[in-house]
Amino acid sequence: MFTLPIMIEQAVNGLVLGSMYALVATGLTLIWGTMKMLNFAHGEFYMLGGFGTYFGLMILGLPPWLVVPIAVFLIFIIAFILEKSIISPLMGKPGWDISTVVATLGAGIFLQNFAFKFWGGDFLNVPYMFDGVLRIWGMAFAWHRLYILALTLVVIITFWQIVKRTRFGLALRATAQDNEAAILMGIPFRRIYTITFGLSASLAALAGSALAPIFSVNPWMGMVPLIKALIVVILGGLGSFTGAILGGFILGLCESFSVLFLSSGWKDLISFSLLIIILVIKPSGLFGAKEW
């Protein structure tokens, strides 16, 4: 049962799952690091990514290479508008760390039920973007899953480059590390917030779009990824970009391997227990609540 081929297949599955957790968690940690708030509608951007992909592929019949970028872009716009109209005004007033929770909660509920109204509550199937399976050394890897891995790698590298090398990235890091000093440098922090929020939503949407063929879409599909992403963010250390990515992969691998030992109903127990253990031993997470 625990042969090497099976272990490797599970490892790859774990990395695929993990990469999705990593993307969603990075989005969350991006907002936390820069704006110091938790976005409770984050799962809904993931969900909209999935639904957008469904709509584009199944209803409009467009090819994947067109649907995915357009869907992600549209969700960026939606998030941008949301931030500017609702979150930005709240951030400027006292009690913002609580009012933004309510606002994002409300927005999340709205979006969930919007999806429910227009697409119903059933699980809708989305076709695989890449058919077929790669067979090597007695193991089978679905091409779509490999696409997910590749996509994640590309996104992470791109993201890293943006943060480290561009003027925007520099401004982002400055705003995250010391808001007041950043303002003194002339950085338009409100605009940075809005763009950051949009980027975060895009990451979630991309993950949702990639996973849609595997898990199908439904209006509440964003809730579990949100909880898992929260776990990853804590695991990796709040505000740590590296932590979110590595934490995501670790969680994915843990869940994937635990399926070999436990029935799937109990597998979530592992992730949550792992979380509590980390919190008790090293609350700042594996990489410490860092600044990037």
Q: Does 111 bind other proteins (CB under 8 A)?
A: yes
Q: Does 158 bind other proteins (CB under 8 A)?
A: no
In the bound state with other proteins, the residue whose beta carbon lies nearer, of 114 and 130, is 114
Which x/- pattern over 216-255 shows residues binding other proteins (rule: CB under 8 A)? -------x---x--xx--x---x-----------------
Q: Does 148 bind other proteins (CB under 8 A)?
A: no
**Amino acid, single-letter form, for residue 23:** L
The minimum distance between CB 260 and other proteins, in angstroms, equals 17
In the bound state with other proteins, the residue whose beta carbon lies nearer, of 38 and 199, is 38
Q: Does 58 bind other proteins (CB under 8 A)?
A: no
Residue with tokens 């992403």: 229
The minimum distance between CB 78 and other proteins, in angstroms, equals 14
**Amino acid, single-letter form, for residue 98:** I
Cα angle 233, 155, 276 (rounded to 5 degrees) comes to 15
Q: Which stretch binds other proteins (CB under 8 A): 57-65, 67-75, 100-108, 245-253?
A: 100-108
Task: Please report, for residues 32, 81, 156, 247, the alpha-carbon distance to residue 106 in angstroms, rounded to integers and kept in the order given.
Answer: 19, 15, 30, 28
Question: Which one of residues 179, 215, 216, 254 is an interface residue with other proteins (CB under 8 A)?
Answer: 179
237 close to 284: Cβ distance less than 8 angstroms? yes
Q: Does 121 bind other proteins (CB under 8 A)?
A: no
- CA pair distance 79, 198, nearest whole angstrom: 5
Question: Which one of residues 12, 23, 38, 201 is an interface residue with other proteins (CB under 8 A)?
Answer: 38
Q: Does 184 bind other proteins (CB under 8 A)?
A: yes
Task: Please report, for residues 18, 133, 152, 205, the alpha-carbon distance to residue 243 in angstroms, rounded to integers and kept in the order given.
Answer: 13, 32, 15, 20
Q: Does 162 bind other proteins (CB under 8 A)?
A: no
The minimum distance between CB 244 and other proteins, in angstroms, equals 14
Q: Does 81 bind other proteins (CB under 8 A)?
A: no
By CB under 8 A, how many residues form the interface with other proteins? 68
Q: Give the binding site for other proteins (CB under 8 A).
A: 32, 38, 86, 89-99, 101-103, 105-114, 116-117, 167, 170-171, 173-174, 177-189, 223, 227, 230-231, 234, 238, 263, 265-266, 268-269, 272-273, 275-276, 279-280, 283, 290-292
